[in-house]
Structure formats: C-alpha cells, structure tokens
C-alpha cells in the first residue's frame, strides 16, 4: 500500500485561509440578514398588532405569536425577543437606515 504524498505546507496554509475567510463572510452575511429580519418582524408587529387602539389586544396576540414561533423556531422567538424587535423598529423607523447600518457589518 503506497503512502499519500505530503501536502506542501504553503498550499495547506493558503487553503486553510480561504476556508476561514469564506466562513467569516458567511457569518457576516447571516448577521446582516438576521438584523434585517428582526427589524421587519418588529415593524410588522408594531404596525399590524400593537398600533392604535388595539394595544392591549396586541399584547395578547404577541404572546400567542411568540408561543407559536417558539414551537417552530426555538426560544429566540420569545415574547421578550419579539418586544425587542418591536423596539428596534421603533428606534430605527426607516428601513433604509437599517439597511445602511447593516451594510456596515460587512
């Protein structure tokens, strides 16, 4: 049985750097998308559920929504987290600002 040829350490180092760089870019892209998602979820809840005279009813709907989302997607979608998403959309009401800030992550 013959031995596999030894890999040049320079080749190994360069390929390793390519892999690390791709992993870093992927993580940044995921973070950007999650930031935009959280803003959109918060904005949707704020506009459709919590706005106007339906605020008390909206809180009950948000609690129910959180329960349903946690069943499908896990504890990251708790009522507390949804409330933070709503707050995020209130602090940054313009989606263009959020997109601009998210682009700076890259």
Q: What is the pTM of this model?
A: 0.79
Q: How high is the pLDDT of residue 106? A: 63
Give the whole-angstrom CA distance, residue 41 versus residue 32.
14
Give the mean pLDDT of 37-59: 82
Q: Residue ranges per domain, the chain?
A: 53-106
DSSP the chain: -PPPPPPPHHHHHHHHHHHHHHHHHHHHHHHHHHHHHHHHHHHHHIIIIISGGGHHHHHHHHHHHHHHHHHHH-GGG-HHHHHHHHHHHHHS--HHHHHHHHHTT-
| Mean pLDDT computed over every residue of the chain | 88
Q: What is the pLDDT of residues 49-58, one digit of tens each?
A: 866 556 677 7
What pLDDT is recorded for position 74?
96
């Amino acid at each position: 049985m013959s031995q596999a040829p030894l890999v040049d350490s320079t080749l190994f180092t360069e390929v390793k750097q390519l892999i690390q760089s791709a992993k870093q870019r992927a993580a940044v892209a995921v973070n950007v998308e999650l930031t935009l998602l959280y803003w959109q979820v918060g904005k949707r809840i704020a506009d459709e559920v919590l706005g106007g005279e339906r605020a008390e009813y909206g809180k009950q709907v948000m609690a129910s929504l959180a329960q349903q989302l946690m069943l499908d997607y896990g504890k990251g979608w708790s009522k507390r987290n949804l409330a933070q998403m709503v707050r995020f959309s209130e602090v940054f009401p313009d989606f263009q600002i959020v997109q601009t800030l998210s682009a700076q992550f890259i």
